[in-house]
Amino acid sequence: MFSVLKKIRLPQPLEWRGDKVRLLDQTLLPLEEVYLDITDYREMATAIKELKVRGAPAIGVAGAYGMALGGLQIKARSKASFLEKLHAAAQTLAGTRPTARNLFWAIERMEKAARNCGRVAEIKQALIAEAVKIHETEVDNSMKMSRKGARLLKSGCRVLTHCNTGPLAAPGYGTALGVVIYAHRQGKKVHVYADETRPLLQGARLTTWECQKAGIPVTLITDNMAGWLMKRGEIDCVIVGADRIAANGDTANKIGTYSVAVLAKEHNIPFYVVAPTSTIDLSMKTGDEIPIEQRKPEEVTHIGGIRFAASNVAVVNPAFDVTPARYITAIVTERGIIRKSFEDGNLKFPIRIRQ
């Protein structure tokens, strides 16, 4: 399975191993490469919550495998009882991270696959097959998005990224960083500026590591340096991923993305979003409807378990923000590139999205 992954030689976040999931613990990277074997859907829910596996498409695949593990754990005589127990597992997994659409997309697909089975005996295998299919689909989507998006990058370009959007976040090549990796492999000269991405430093820890693995020149900056670099003419485009895209193109992504988008507009720099259609949520008309995950204060007051802020200080810690569609130059998906319409400045969705 996944012979294509062998060929692309990039670190992958997780792998199905017959009756368990082997998962690369992203909280320990880049200092330690530790793999965890997950056999219980509750362990998978904890791994998602604690960001051992993270990034919207990877969370979706992890959720699907969590459901497959849940299925293997169920003891039930009737289909109705099996589906009821599976739904309880679905709720546990869905309760981990509210913003990434991919998680809910994957869980809904898994429950549908179970419902479509005739007998209890078939359901467990059908769940595994569906989870593997979701994984394969996301790998394929990643390759297609990367190829399509690479057309937007000229040789010599300096690309600003936010958070982590490479293969660790989206199996295959990744989303935004996948585009850069693809362009680099086409022989284009590209240079990545990676925002460190406070509070959990996915840019500093994961993006720099992935770029080094892929042989792409990368410069790490703190989040508050982006405006200065743009003003000096040192950034040619911004490429980010997405956790959920509303029907009007408003895009939820890692906290800080909105600030980068506003800066890009001020400096007339193209701002691209790269995401599979599994991230698009047509049930939400605008970004105002997207649920934003709030995380614990310690992520802001501490780094590496060490407190540096005054004790008991009030903290707010939204994990994501929403960038209005008017700041986005184009959204790259596996099905094509969605561009801004010149009439109303908003993004148009000319491609048909099956949800």
CB 316 to ligand MRU: min, Å: 16
Which residue numbers are catalytic?
243
CB 308 to ligand MRU: min, Å: 21
Q: Is 135 among the residues that bind ligand MRU (CB under 6 A)?
A: no
Select from 170, 280, 332, 337 the one that contacts ligand MRU (CB under 6 A). 170
Say whether the peptide bond before residue 297 is cis (omega within 30 degrees of 0): no
CA 67 – CA 92 distance, rounded (Å): 10
Q: Is 160 among the residues that bind ligand MRU (CB under 6 A)?
A: no
Q: Is 253 among the residues that bind ligand MRU (CB under 6 A)?
A: yes
Span interacting with ligand MRU, options 48-56, 147-155, 226-234, 297-305, rule CB under 6 A: 48-56
| Residues binding ligand MRU: number (CB under 6 A) | 17
Spacing of C-alpha 337 from chain mean position: 18
Q: Is 165 among the residues that bind ligand MRU (CB under 6 A)?
A: yes
Closest CA to 238 of 296, 323, 295, 127: 323
Name which of 62 and 157 has its Cβ closer to ligand MRU. 62
Select from 101, 205, 254, 340 the one that contacts ligand MRU (CB under 6 A). 254
Closest CA to 344 of 324, 322, 326, 327: 326
Q: Is 163 among the residues that bind ligand MRU (CB under 6 A)?
A: yes
Contact (CB, 8 A) for 136 and 171: no
Q: Is 63 among the residues that bind ligand MRU (CB under 6 A)?
A: no
CA 323 – CA 259 distance, rounded (Å): 8
Angle at 23 between CA 20 and CA 24, to 5 degrees: 160
Q: Is 276 among the residues that bind ligand MRU (CB under 6 A)?
A: no
Contact (CB, 8 A) for 199 and 299: yes
Name which of 114 and 194 has its Cβ closer to ligand MRU. 194
Contact (CB, 8 A) for 320 and 254: yes
Span interacting with ligand MRU, options 13-21, 73-81, 133-141, 236-244, rule CB under 6 A: 236-244
Select from 103, 264, 319, 328 the one that contacts ligand MRU (CB under 6 A). 319
CA 95 – CA 310 distance, rounded (Å): 31
Name which of 120 and 192 has its Cβ closer to ligand MRU. 192
CA 278 – CA 244 distance, rounded (Å): 9
Q: Is 241 among the residues that bind ligand MRU (CB under 6 A)?
A: yes
Contact (CB, 8 A) for 335 and 354: no
Q: Is 333 among the residues that bind ligand MRU (CB under 6 A)?
A: no
Name which of 83 and 94 has its Cβ closer to ligand MRU. 94
Q: Is 169 among the residues that bind ligand MRU (CB under 6 A)?
A: yes
Nearest residue to ligand MRU, using CB? 241
Contact (CB, 8 A) for 107 and 94: yes
Q: Which residues contact 286 (CB under 8 A, 6 or more apart)?
A: 246, 247, 248, 250
Q: Which residues contact 273 (CB under 8 A, 6 or more apart)?
A: 176, 239, 240, 241, 242, 245, 251, 253, 323, 328, 330, 331, 332
CB 202 to ligand MRU: min, Å: 5
Q: Is 47 among the residues that bind ligand MRU (CB under 6 A)?
A: no
Q: Is 208 among the residues that bind ligand MRU (CB under 6 A)?
A: no
Span interacting with ligand MRU, options 77-85, 163-171, 264-272, 310-318, rule CB under 6 A: 163-171
Tokens of residue 27, six digits: 């909280």
Interacting residues toward ligand MRU by CB under 6 A: 51, 54-57, 163, 165, 169-170, 175, 202, 241-243, 253-254, 319
